[in-house]
Structure 1
Amino acid sequence: MARDTPVQNRTDSESNDTQLPNLVTIVGRGVPSNYEVAVDGDLEMLAADPVAEGTVVSGGVAEGSIDVGVQRFRFSGEMANVRLVDWNGDQAPDSASVPTVHVEYGAPQR
């Protein structure tokens, strides 16, 4: 017997704003880099298929890679930790190549 996996309904934007009111955006700078984002609440990637984006989301933690483009996550609670490393393993702020991170509390649904 197959076990059903629960799926969140993302079409109810008002409910999503209430439950995951905050937004974190990671912007790649053209250099392959890795990131880890941790929050003290729930975290959800705003992508049709996080695995295709090379991102693993588990509870309040997301780990992934980015070189160009933007990856966004909605979350509840507070930002707990952000770790960024470039392709050489150099961490921010020692490397100017790591992605930038923007955190917006109470961000409207876009």
Structure 2
Amino acid sequence: MARDTPIRNRTDSAANDAQLPNLVTIVGRGVPSNYEIAVDGDLEMLADDPMAEGTVLSGSVAEGAIDVGVQRFRFSGEMANVRLIDWNGNEAPDSPSVPTVHVEYGAANR
């Protein structure tokens, strides 16, 4: 049975760089927080198992939680939206505890 959506081979870094040339990095600050990112293109998490990371990918949107560490996503198109909420329900920029987000267009594969 054929799949509706082909699965990308993450080992082919040159192809992924061409198809998903941009990178967004979410860095936890030691406080449990939730995030949602949306792009106007394709989105792929750089993890072996996004569900194990507590991340739900749906098309061009990712929702997840982070407290420490780093989560990375490659994407095509432009960043459309970023929403960050700390454990108290305070959104950025009102909370100094939410994760930091770095967006790099034309990023080399990492």
Gap regions ≥5 residues in structure 2: none
Cα shift readout 1:26-62 (whole Å, capped 9, x = no counterpart) = 0000000000000000000000000000000111100
Would you say 1:99 and 2:88 are equivalent positions? no
Give the TM-score taking structure 1 as reference length: 0.95
Gap regions ≥5 residues in structure 1: none
Q: Which residue of 2 aligns with 1:43?
A: 43
Which secondary structure state, in structure 2, belongs to the residue aligned with residue 85 of structure 1?
strand
Aligned AA for 1:106?
G
Q: Which residue of 1 aligns with 2:14?
A: 14
Give the TM-score taking structure 2 as reference length: 0.95
Which secondary structure state, in structure 2, belongs to the residue aligned with residue 101 of structure 1?
strand
Aligned AA for 1:34?
N
Would you say 1:31 and 2:22 are equivalent positions? no
- Displacement of 1:7 in angstroms is 2.7
User: Aligned Cα RMSD in Å?
Assistant: 1.0
Percent of residue pairs bearing the same amino acid type? 81
**1:87 & 1:57 partners in 2: Cα distance?**
21
Aligned residues: 108
